[in-house]
Structure 1
Amino acid sequence: MTGMNDALLDAARKTVSTLAANAARTERDLTPAPESVAAVRAAQLFALTVPRAAGGQEANLHTLVAILAELGKGCPSTAWVVGLNAANKSGARLMLSPAAQDAVLADPDAVFCASNVMSRDSNAVRVPGGVRISGRWAMASGSEVASLAMVPVPLPTDTTSAVAMVLVPASDLTVERTWRAAGLAGTSSHTLVAKDVFVPNHFVAYPDADGPAQTLSPEAMFVGGLATLAPMIGAAHGARDLVADAIAGGRAPYMTTYTRIADSPLGRYWFTEALQRTDSAMRRTLWVADVLDALPQGDEMSVTERAQLRIELTTAARECREAMELLLDLHGASGFAEDNPLQRFWRDIAVGTRHPFFTPYILAEDYGRLTFDVTPTVSLAL
């Protein structure tokens, strides 16, 4: 197992109470509460994947997973923003020009958002010194607390149109509050809007230029998968802690002779089933992180090996949902009251574990193709 940064994990634990106290406000306001953002920044957790040379933490994936799971116990939405910020900063080093990378790393504790969702009316026009862009980019998690954004634009070439990645100061963009979802509502995953914004050449990763790759390798894409799954594991653990307190206390199964749920053998068994699923989800996810941490830089895995890792993460996502259902069975209908954090954990897990990275039927189809050598796979990200 790769090393854990215990100091960072301890710093994360100390922020959980602040995140939990502001979780309802974060959801209501559709963006992380200022107090939560301040607590994360004070703990230097927005700098998790920033190189030490740039003032960051340079945390490995094992540490990243553990910290995001810890934050998820308090507020999954805030943990999600921290995770996507970490993944975006990691990806920027592979996708952007050196000058743009320097801009991203200039403030290691700043929030950096990104979107891969490009509307049909997005466009870019080459002009002297750079490009002018217009368009809309949805689901940019952290959009209202970010100072920089990375978005794709279609850029005409001599023969066709290719995609360029551009770095844009958030002050040059507007945010349309389009993310109003049943879960993870507080992630500020809104739509970025640009209207004839000038982007200088050094902030554009041109598709026809020598330099950084325009797309992430399949191995690098796992950072985003881990960054979105870990907060959901944390949410399952947060829900588990709430129900454990209720079980150990005076809560009794309705209309029974028991004085508390803990006196019921099957009640205890039901809880241990949830316990096993949350622990299994964490073990699977940390194992994937360890495999990737141990992979020598620049090495590639086989498509079968990548599929196996993706299935581990998809299984962990399903285990989070299964654990949540068991916990709600134990707690009862009062867990769905608006002032009960349990229902927020439930909704956040239901949404977050259905991120496209965890699409189970496509992964199952591809794994079957690989097993029987019916190639190529259908997933473009595998």
Structure 2
Amino acid sequence: MSEVLDQIEARAEEIAALGPSNEKLGRLDDRAAELLRETGVIRMLQPAKYGGAEAHPADFAEAVMRLASLDGSTGWVAGIVGVHPWEMAMCDPRVQEEVWGEDNDTWIASPYAPMGVIRPVDGGYVFNGRWQFSSGTDHCDWIFLGAYLGDEKGEAIMPPRVHHVILPRSDYTIVEDSWDVVGLRGTGSKDIIVEDAFIPDYRVVEFSRFTDGSQPREAGLTNPTYHIPFTTAFPLGITSAVIGIAEGALAAHLAYQRTRVQITGTKVKDDPHVLFAISQAAAEIHASRVTMLDNARRFHDKAERGEEVTFAERAESRRTQVSAAWRAVRAMDEVVARSGGNGMRMDNPIQRFWRDGHMGLAHAIHVPGSVFHVQSLTAMDVTPPPGPMLSMI
């Protein structure tokens, strides 16, 4: 862990400086992607057999937070792309060799949302669909895509069965100019199109095998990192990036406020109201960091002891993640609101962190409604209803 953080710190100034370029390009600058590779963060959860560190998930989260505090888009890509090797470690050895056999630094994109359908054929499936939000996809050579299982006509069967499908870059198209948003512009989270791609059966895994923990068990993985719940691991990088973005906004705000004089003539450092708000916000952002890291450590410890994770614990974990993201962004709003008009100038990084943080909060995993409802019902020993309310637990 310290080695990755050391590598990040050695490149911190350049990573931060490339933020405006990432945003202008609508994807990570090639140099920013190169720096990210050099830090080793994407290989932290990768199996040792393919040059990975098999690191503790909390260490991965800390690395993502630090990157996001330098540039939101770089941290976001690290958080999402960096989780994919964790899942790939559970997949068929044949596809692992296809992905990493020649280059351990091969990156894998996503998204997991089931926006396509796989139709069974001899030896595998024919795949079609269109997906949004493939973060960092320009720098990836493989992809995980979510899909519904279809019938012989290619129509999704009911009740729906979600699968994760693994494809090489040659089997899908990245839609240029499909990422025009208010924040996290540098993530290049573009649309993906798949048309009649043949997918061998060993590159398709039913999603329930990840959520029930059977996939890592049957893969023979012994490191407890691979036995934390999927719905704890997948959001880890995303929520950590949001917290890191809030930390970046706070740091930029403090640097700016040190010498700022308000229009009233009062120096910010002499204004007790602003100072109180800054300190209170800093405490809230820190609380978000601590709860996220504690959550990751708790589930890693349970896996290390060989203890089964209950549905109630998974629901509580998701509540912790969602509330941490919202707490951090609310606190960020308090400091940004006290940055003055010049804090909103496009050459001031405060406004970019602010936009990035709110974009990150809009991700599906941070929608509190169903998560909080399910967790409350579970806490009252009420069996949660089936369907969409359970999709994020």
Regarding TM over 0.5, the answer is: yes
AA in 1 matched with 2:263: Y
**TM-score w.r.t. length of structure 2:** 0.86
Q: Could you tell me which amino acid in structure 2 is paired with residue 307 of structure 1?
A: A
Distance in 2 of aligned mates of 1:43 and 1:370: 41
* 1:261-272 map, 5 Å: 261-272=268-279
Q: In structure 1, what is the equivalent of residue 391 of structure 2?
A: 380
State which of 86, 91, 107 in structure 2 corresponds to 1:90. 86
Q: Which amino acid is 2:264 matched to? A: M
Within 1, Cα distance between the matches of 2:348 and 2:248?
12
Q: Partners in 2 of 1:70 and 1:247 — Cα distance? A: 21
Contact 1:30 1:187 in 2 (8 A): yes
Q: Is the 8 Å Cα contact of residues 112 and 164 (structure 2) preserved in structure 1? A: no
Corresponding residue to 1:235 among 228, 235, 245: 245
**What is the deviation of 1:239?**
1.2
Structure 1 gaps, min length 5: none
Moved over 6 A (4+): none
CA distance in 2, matches of 1:110, 1:315: 33
Tell me how far apart the structure 2 counterparts of residues 53 and 41 of structure 1 sit (CA, whole Å): 18
Write the distance in 2 (CA, Å) between the matches of 1:123 and 1:364.
30
- Residue 188 of structure 1 and its aligned partner are, at CA, apart by 1.7
Q: Does 1:246 align with 2:256?
A: yes
Pairing 1:82-161 to 2, within 5 Å after superposition: 82-94=78-90, 96-106=91-101, 107-119=103-115, 122-156=116-150, 161=157
1:39 aligns with 2:35: yes
| Alignment match, 2:301 | 294
State the shift of 1:66 in Å: 0.6
Gaps of 5+ in 2: 214-228
Distance across 1 between alignment mates of 2:364 and 2:124: 33
Cα contact 1:45–1:109 (8 A) shared by 2: no
Deviation at 1:154, TM superposition (A): 3.9
281-290 vs 322-331, which moves further = 322-331
Partners of 1:379 and 1:373 in 2: CA distance: 15
Q: CA deviation at 1:305?
A: 2.3
In 2, Cα distance between equivalents of 1:364 and 1:327: 27
Amino acid aligned to 1:189: S
1:49 aligns with 2:48: no
- Residues 50, 108 of structure 1: 8 Å contact kept: no
Task: Determine which of 362, 368, 375 is the counterpart of 1:360.
Answer: 368
Q: Which amino acid is 1:255 matched to? A: T
CA 1:16–1:171: 2 relative to 1, 3 Å: farther
- How far does the alpha carbon of each residue in 1:154-204 deviate from its partner, in whole angstroms, 9 at most, with x for none? 444589845443221113321113222211122121111122223334433
1:348 offset after TM fit, Å?
0.8
Q: Which moved more, 1:335-344 or 1:151-160?
A: 151-160
Assess if the C-alpha contact under 8 Å between 1:16 and 1:73 holds in 2.
no
Residue in 2 that maps onto 1:327: 335
1:216–1:189 CA distance, 2 compared to 1 (3 A): farther
Partner of 2:281: 274
Q: CA RMSD in A?
A: 2.3
Residues of 2 paired with 1:213 and 1:322: CA distance? 34
The answer to whether structure 1 residue 21 and structure 2 residue 17 are counterparts is yes
Render the CA deviation track for 1:258-278: whole Å, top value 9, x for unaligned.
Answer: 2x2011122221211121111
Residue 65 (structure 1) aligns with: 61
Instruction: Please say if residues 274 and 326 of structure 1, whose CA atoms lie closer than 8 Å, have aligned partners that are also in contact.
Output: yes
Contact 2:322-2:367 at 8 Å conserved across structures = yes
d(CA) in 1 for partners of 2:383, 2:132? 33
2:232–2:317: 8 Å Cα contact kept in structure 1?
no
The letter for the 2-side match of 1:254 is I
1:323 Cα deviation after fit? 1.8
3-state secondary structure, aligned to 2:49: helix
Q: Is the CA contact 2:92–2:202 (under 8 Å) kept in the aligned structure 1? A: yes
Q: What is the alpha-carbon distance in structure 2 between the residues aligned to residue 202 and residue 371 of structure 1?
A: 38
**Contact 2:47–2:89 (Cα < 8 Å) also in 1:** no
What's the CA shift for 1:128?
Answer: 4.7
- Of all paired residues, the percent bearing the same amino acid is 24
**1:141 and 1:190 in contact (8 A); partners too:** yes
Secondary structure (helix, strand or coil) at the match of 2:191 reads strand
Deviation at residue 312 of structure 1 after TM alignment: 2.1
**How far apart are 1:363 and its partner, in Å?**
2.7
CA deviation map 1:85-109 (0-9, x unaligned): 1212212233x32211332333332
Question: Contact 2:44–2:52 at 8 Å: present in 1 too?
Answer: yes
In 2, Cα distance between the equivalents of 1:361 and 1:125? 33
> Quick one: structure 1 residues 303 and 167, their matched pair in 2 at CA, closer, same or farther if it must change by over 3 Å?
closer
Task: Name the SS of the counterpart of 2:197 in structure 1.
Answer: strand
Give 1:247 shift: 2.2
For residues 148 and 41 of structure 1, the distance between their equivalents in structure 2, rounded to whole angstroms, comes to 16
Distance 1:197 1:98 in 2: 21
Q: What is the DSSP-based 3-state SS (H/G/I as helix, E as strand, rest coil) of the residue aligned with 2:53?
A: coil
Q: Which amino acid aligns with 2:143?
A: A
- Distance in 2 (CA, whole Å) between partners of 1:375 and 1:358 is 22
Confirm or deny: 8 A CA contact 1:50 1:105 kept in the other structure: no
Q: 1:221 aligns with which of 208, 224, 231?
A: 231
Which stretch of structure 1 is more off in the superposition, 27-36 or 101-110?
A: 101-110
In the alignment, the residues of structure 1 paired with residue 118 and residue 330 of structure 2 have an alpha-carbon distance, to the nearest angstrom, of 45
Deviation at 1:330, TM superposition (A): 2.2
